Chain A
Amino acid sequence: MEHSKHIWRAALILLFGVVGFIVVRQFLIPKSFGIAGHYRFDALAEFMAQPVKHGGRESCRKCHEPPYETTSKGKHARVSCEVCHGPVGDHASKEAKIAVMPKNPSYKLCAYCHQKLAARPKGFKQVSFRKHLEEQGFASDSKIPEKICLKCHEPHDPTGAAGN
């Protein structure tokens, strides 16, 4: 066929593309891929080699004795510091502080655990925020003020002095 030159050229380019892709792909597939499943097996070792970031509440104690004591005596004793704040590994080395630790004063933090939800265990203390605020004498306007819960509840000892 004398008038099909352009088709052959296009086909050739396509062929080069496909073959090129297959070749390049061989180099791009990670070495350990597929050893134990459809993933890069080395990733397991890499994850295991990562430093541990969380230290539990005991890890905060030596530098933050006061909040540690308060929390341990209060109703939040069973709530880990790192749940409300962040992992110790991002905040302090063995000896000193290395970065700011997040603290979230918003009612949204409390909402994670205390927002009224029918599916939570019955014994767990939950409040419907708007209703709770009304009962405590806060006129409910359209938007809940961010830090409203901390007005009456100390996060480390929620039933403590600031509260009642």
Chain B
Amino acid sequence: MEIEVTGYSFPNDIHILWSLMIVMYPYITGLVAGSFVVSSLYHVFGRNELKPISRLSLVASFGFLLFATLPLLNHLGHPERGFNIIITPNFSSAMAAFGVFYAAYLIVVMLEIWLIYRKDIIMLARRSRGIKRAFYALLALGVYDTSEESRKLDHNIVVVLASIGIPMACILHGYVGFMFGSVKANSFWSTPLMPIIFLCSAITSGIAMVVVLYQILSKLNGARIDPECMQSLCRWLWMFAIITVTVELLEIISLAYERSEEWMVVGPLLGGKLAFSFIGIQLVFGALIPIILLGVVVLMKPFLTDPLRNTMAFVASLILLVQVLAMRWNVVIGGQMFSKSMMGFRQSYDPGLFEKEGVAVAIGIFVLPFIFLAIFNKFLPLAEEDVEGDGKASAAEPQAARGA
């Protein structure tokens, strides 16, 4: 029943106020951090088999970054005041201080993308004319230098930027976990493990998103999905999925084992009100199934055909994306379901379809990064131009990389 409150709840502690938007915010920032980490595996750690997705993952990170704050702005209202956290940053508030950090990270990613695409931009500028040419020339900052030395310089700077970017991405998302972990009035959230849990699941969701995007992009371009790349992505995804589920469970298990006072309410919560989204989605459907699927992909590599591997990876990734969303839901909404008395439950929360912070708006916000990616792909190819590859890497601008 919609208004019944059970147990001993404080009178002013009945409603769930952090809505679906607050679920979407860490979900989208998680995708930012996760896909950035994937791109860095190639750019910094030299995992060359990941080359085919190195651009895609970086641009995806950028795309999600552009829209990551929308849920918060919608939730808080008065979006025009959002800039105040940059104009008058208050460094005693983690959330407000973050505006500056966020902006810095945006610049780092933007520069990295620019350097990586610089050669393509120049090729396209040379090839096109009129407005289009002016546009690409502007992007190239008027310098048409594709010499070996300049490329080398670019590469070195990219390595530096990506190296700065990794800790930044980790902090960017660790901070979201920190936000929850530092709410000391809420013992379900208040644990130093929280940033780590968020970070691990962020990387999981990021890799999963890259798998999905890569496969879709390849389908659209009619290009071959690089088996080595897919295999490697699966391996990373498998590892991070396992780590994620482990730390998620670790937190719960230590609560349960300690029989701490908050377990009196968190236990019934996870097994009762959250049974479907926690046990059902987050643990069984969302973790067990993809971990088995990916385990098969990783361990039985010689026995798998490419299409089979791709399908299994795709399905596992989609499920993991749902798992991470469920985890966000369970933490954000679940953490608000009980009263601060630790002895009673608040009202339940079901987001409406068309309300201000409802399902439709959440979907609308989530679609924006993909629209951005589609538009980006119109101007600069997301698919990696593989010179020695099968030769039809990109349908959009097939000559772009090999022109010179």
Contacts and interface: CB of A to CB of B under 8 A. Distances in A.
Interface of A: 1-7, 9-10, 13-14, 25, 28-29, 33, 38, 107-108, 111, 115, 117-120, 128-130, 144
Nearest to B6: A118
Of the listed residues B3, B7, B8, B10, the one surrounded by the most CB atoms of chain A closer than 10 A to its CB is B3
A3 B4 contact: no
A4 B150 contact: yes
A107 B1 CA distance: 13
Contact of B4 (A2, A38, A130): A130
A119 B141 contact: no
Contact of A118 (B9, B92, B145): B9
Given A3-B145, A118-B7, A118-B344, A130 B1 contact: yes
A1 B153 CA distance: 10
A129 B3 CA distance: 9
A146 B147 CA distance: 74
B364 interface: no
Contacts of A120: 11
B341 A119 contact: yes
13 contacts: A1-B153, A5-B143, A6-B150, A9-B142, A10-B111, A10-B114, A10-B141, A28-B87, A29-B87, A117-B11, A117-B14, A119-B344, A129-B4
Given A25-B87, A107-B3, A119-B341, 17 more contacts: A9-B142, A28-B83, A29-B88, A38-B88, A111-B3, A117-B5, A117-B9, A117-B11, A117-B14, A118-B8, A119-B10, A129-B3, A129-B4, A130-B1, A130-B4, A144-B1, A144-B3
Contacts of A25: 87
A128 B150 CA distance: 75
A119 B8 contact: yes
A3 B153 contact: yes
Of the listed residues A29, A111, A118, the one surrounded by the most CB atoms of chain B closer than 10 A to its CB is A118
Nearest to B343: A118
A158 to B, nearest CB: 18
A117 B96 CA distance: 36
A119 B11 contact: yes
B90 A6 contact: no
The 5 A-B pairs at the shortest CB distance, nearest first, are namely: A6-B143, A3-B150, A3-B149, A118-B8, A9-B141
